[in-house]
Chain A
Amino acid sequence: MIGIHDLRVRFDSDKGLVDAVQGVNIDVKPGEFYTLLGPSGCGKTTTLRCLAGLETPTGGRITIGDTVVHDTKRGLTIPTHKRDIGMVFQSYAIWPHLTVFENVAFPLREARPKVPEAQIEARVGKALELVQLGGYESRPAPFLSGGQQQRLALARAIVREASVVLFDEPLSNLDAKLRAETRLELRHLVKRLGMTALYVTHDQTEALTMADRVAVMRDGRIVQEATPTEIYKRPNSRFVASFIGQCNFADGTVTAAARGAEPGLIDTAWGPVRFDAAADAATGAKVTIAVRPENVRLVANGTDGAADVPQGEVIDTVFLGESVECRVRLGNSDLVARIHPDQPVEEGKAIGVMIRPKDVAILST
């Protein structure tokens, strides 16, 4: 539904030439919820704005549905207002001089051929119902709360029934609780209406909970693109691993490659660590491994199968409410384990550290 091919954007800014986007390729299927995730300045918003036609790429081709909306080679750009899209802005961009109704009706009033007034009323009413703003029609837009303005912006984006909806960090101005509620509501709404969504965010939780597919961007490039589960479990770089959630890292040398069900072995500062065949590494290769804190299990001596488990020492514990974070000295290095608050650990005590082979991700860089 959305095709972005070798997109390049170069800005002529105060600091000289900046390559904001350097060859991005994206293919979003119809009905898919696709998320661009990355730190500020990684080029994700620029990519989105190119798709919307608010920014002119210096290279590449963009298609929406069956229409080429931009092709640098052919010098072709369709202006924003002729593209089949809706968009929710980070600032909401609610027009302060119009009422709630008129804000939502705006895209319909601009539509050619003209939409009959009765139909406008019906469609605006429906859109407002969908975002639970029914009954607010005549209210001046600035008199809405932050959450209501956000939903109004959403109603305006969907009222045109465009095939693609773009989201530019739409939840970043909401407070934490409202954000958590809105995340799922928003995904359900998009899915229910069968729209294709491109969602830009720097918040990993949003990316993981809402998206069908996530692309992590850095310095104008996509560094990894996968489903949320895949990207969390098998990050391909230190950057992705640490950007999405917390991670323990260790450098090491592969001493034995994994063969079928037989796990491989890596020599690290933590001591030897086993990994399974999902992670591909040849014997003798220098690699970095990543292990999530919640996948590091601490087992007290004498409990089940703790016999051949490497021994570490608890250095520090931090109580977080739903879990406890333990810093453990293992071999020549430290690692962090996240455990259930009920599990008894004591600082300065020895403890067994267990890492399952399938929880070890081998990073390419």
Chain B
Amino acid sequence: MVDTVDIAATKAPAPSARAGRNILARAFPWIVLIVLAALVIAPIFSLVAGAFSLSRLPNEFSLDNIGFDNFYAVWVEQRIDKVIWNTAIYVVGATIFGILSAALLAWLVERSDMPGKMWIYAGVPLGIAVPGILHAIAWVLLLSPRSGFVNRGYMEITGSAAPLFDIYTMGGLIFAEGLRLVPVAFLMLVPLMRSMDPSLEEAAAASGASPMRATRRITLALLLPGVLAVSIFQAITAIENFEVPGILGMPVNLHVFSTRVFNLIDNIGTIPAFGQANAAAVFYLIIALVISFFYLRLVRHSERYSIITGKGYTPRQVRLGKWRKPALAVALLFLFVTIVLPFLVLLYVSLVNYLRPPSWEAFTNMTTKHYEAVFNQPRVFRTLMNTIYVTLMTATTVTIVSFVIAYVIVRTRFRGRYALDMLSFLPHSIPGIVLGLALFWLFMQFDKLTGASTFGSIYALVLGFTILFLSYAVRAMSVAMIQVHPDLEDAAKLSGAPPWRIALRIFGPLLLPTLVGIWIYVAMLSVRFISLPLILSQGGSNEVLGVMIWSLWDNGNISSVGAIGIMLMSFMFVLALGLRAFGFGNQRGGAL
């Protein structure tokens, strides 16, 4: 076939053009890696540099004025060790409470014969739609020691001088944060419970183990690593959370890490201690990184990329007998307390003409004046537009970027794909407050050097959110891509389809539910996340709804909080229902 070479040469593209395209194809994964590394490492670097800065303001940073003073101040004067201790109690307490509740619900839904299971299964994840700040505010309205509706009612009925339960305590913090952890923990535990092969328990029974021993030695032993992984994952979420401790702990000087860092730069009456905030944030970040490291070690070989096979065994269901109805009552109570109650409380305060405990008189004097007042403020409209803009931008950016990263990790033989995998997980362990602070420093330096005004712009928020939510999106995307067999793409190639047609006709349609799911979930996260925008917010130009609710609450404008909160929650419920419609978190196995 030597004589045919000339024909072939004319058919093939010119070698130089080929080589050019080849270099681009080779360089592409490296570009992805470098950009991601820059996105993750640059803010952390500026955070650490800022921790050594002794200048009064971030934009006065100079290498002549650095030292360890901030670390000393934070450790000795600010007694950060106390904050560590508080944080530990809060995180451990909330995680245990949250995981136990979630495990009970997951067990009832998956392994018992409780009636109405489908409703509980569909209802629990909807809790994601209640933003943490509104969740915490609702509990304050119900359980603040003097004016909380429940406590007031209790004191009136019993004549007691002491409240029933004070939410401004460590116990209150653990309770509120624990409840908030349940929806995601539930979604993670359900597949675990489902994937338990009943034949393993039956084999234990056949080997002579009593039901109790079979449960302990087989069921619990098999579930333990998975439950531990979910617990640590949730602990990272709790340690990262700002909204709940910010509303419930900060007013009474009950500080955990996130609120302490925030407090150092945003404390009425004192000068912001920027360097010290950074030093505290460095401690905070180290603790979060250590926990994440343990999490990664734990799941390295198992859960992280486990594919839900959807194997068709129906696990043996435990008969609850006379406990069927009480079990359902507990599950319904949970739904009521986490989803319905916050909504009702906020609806109530947004409709009564002035804030007072529920009474017949209060109900007969309902008014929509707060909604009118809210809508008549130009600030609200601008904030709403900002929120929508940030949400759309973030969701779209994260979806596209995570698609590219996951593609390189899953589908190429790129040498740096493990580094890419690690780097994309890292942001999960960076608390929102810390990243906010880090970006604050980064933008300050950047603006000082270039004269631009990135700080205070809406893109600052988009960038911060993109970094924060990337790890979740990359993980979800990788799992979905792994489930699309590479042969499906190769078969299209062999059918004569060029790469872009494959993306359009094969890869796109097969991944569509995942793309939409990630988009919606990231949109929800960016609506409800307030710690990062709280630090990066600079006046009206990039204020978002969460930040506005925070400042309205701070100013005691509770009726407006109620009105805006109701709008925000309605919007979130719509997104959550959209998420369900795309079968996300609804573990389908099989073909895809």
Contact = CB atoms under 8 A, between A and B. Distances in A.
Interface in B570-592: 590-592
Interface in A60-110: 63, 66-69, 71, 74-83, 85-87, 89-93, 95-97, 106-107, 110
B491 interface: yes
A78 B498 contact: no
Contacts of A304: none
Contacts of B311: none
B496 A93 contact: no
Contact of A76 (B4, B8, B491, B509): B8
Contact of A107 (B487, B495, B498): B495
Interface in B173-229: none
B307 to A, nearest CB: 15
Contact of A95 (B7, B12, B488, B499): B488
Contacts of B501: 110
B497 A52 contact: no
Contacts of B591: 96, 142
Contacts of A111: 496
B8 A68 contact: yes
Contacts of B415: 12
Nearest to B491: A93
Nearest to A3: B1
B322 interface: no
A160 B5 CA distance: 25
A130 interface: no
Contacts of B9: 68, 74, 76
A160 B496 contact: yes
B492 interface: yes
B508 to A, nearest CB: 10
A121 B301 CA distance: 48
A243 B31 CA distance: 47
A89 B490 CA distance: 9
B321 interface: no
B250 interface: no
Nearest to A166: B494
A93 B487 contact: yes
Contact of A66 (B4, B12, B494, B496): B4
A153 B492 CA distance: 12
Interface residues on B, range: 20 to 34
Contacts of A166: 494
B12 A78 contact: yes
B413 interface: yes
Contacts of A78: 11-12
B296 interface: no
Nearest to A66: B4
B556 interface: no
- Please indicate which of the listed interface residues A53, A81, A112 has the most CB atoms of chain B within 10 Å of its own CB: A81
Interface string A239-281: 0000000000000000000000000000000000000000000
Contacts of A112: 496
B8 A54 contact: no
A23 to B, nearest CB: 18
- A interface, size bucket: 35 or more
A93 B1 contact: no
B378 interface: no
A156 interface: yes
Contacts of B11: 67, 78
A63 B4 contact: yes
Contacts of B18: 75-77
A71 B15 CA distance: 11
B506 interface: yes
A12 B492 CA distance: 26
Contacts of A11: 413
B286 interface: no
Query: Top 3 nearest A-B pairs by Cβ distance?
Result: A107-B495, A93-B487, A68-B8
Given A82-B496, A93-B488, 19 more contacts: A52-B490, A54-B493, A66-B4, A67-B4, A68-B8, A68-B9, A76-B8, A76-B18, A81-B495, A85-B494, A90-B487, A91-B487, A92-B487, A93-B491, A97-B510, A107-B495, A107-B496, A110-B492, A111-B496
29 contacts: A3-B1, A54-B490, A63-B1, A67-B7, A68-B4, A68-B12, A71-B8, A75-B15, A75-B18, A79-B498, A81-B493, A81-B495, A81-B497, A81-B498, A83-B494, A85-B494, A87-B490, A89-B491, A91-B487, A93-B487, A95-B491, A106-B492, A106-B495, A110-B492, A111-B496, A142-B590, A153-B491, A160-B495, A160-B496
Interface of B: 1, 4-5, 7-9, 11-12, 15, 18-19, 413, 415, 485, 487-488, 490-499, 501, 505-506, 509-510, 590-592
